[in-house]
Amino acid sequence: MKFTLSLSLNNSAFSDQNNGAEVARILRKIANNIEESNLQDGDKDNLRDVNGNLVGYVEVKPRDILTLTFGKNSIWKILKIVNWSKIGVI
């Protein structure tokens, strides 16, 4: 399995010089939730800042899943370059 955490620091909850405190608060909450559960493939949860704004997510996936994260234009470039039939996708 693969555990992924994505956290965006681009809003007012992270704007002061002590933005580490908000990151730490979110990480503590995640750690507490994980400690009380058994992680399974497909588990996903949204992360919210102290103001209730969506700032990220945590997700558990099978290890062999390919995840591509690019800008919308970059993904089209990759799709055109890769011969998907040779790697068993098509």
- At position 68, the amino acid (one-letter code) is L
Q: How far apart are CA 5 and CA 27, in angstroms?
A: 10
**Is the confidence at residue 14, as pLDDT, over 80?**
yes
Q: Which of the listed ranges 2-16, 44-58, 72-86 does the model predict with the highest average pLDDT?
A: 44-58
Average pLDDT, the chain: 77
On the question of pLDDT at 59 being above 60, the answer is yes
> Could you tell me where the DSSP H helices lie in 1-90?
19-35, 72-81
Q: Which amino acid is at 41?
A: D
Helix (H) or strand (E) holding 7: strand 2-7
Q: Which amino acid is at 31?
A: A
User: pLDDT tens for residues 15-50?
Assistant: 878 788 999 999 999 999 888 888 888 889 999 999
User: What pLDDT is stored for residue 29 in this prediction?
Assistant: 92
DSSP letter string, 71-88:
-HHHHHHHHHHS-GGGGT
How many CB atoms sit inside 10 A of residue 9's CB?
Answer: 14
The domain spans of the chain are 2-65
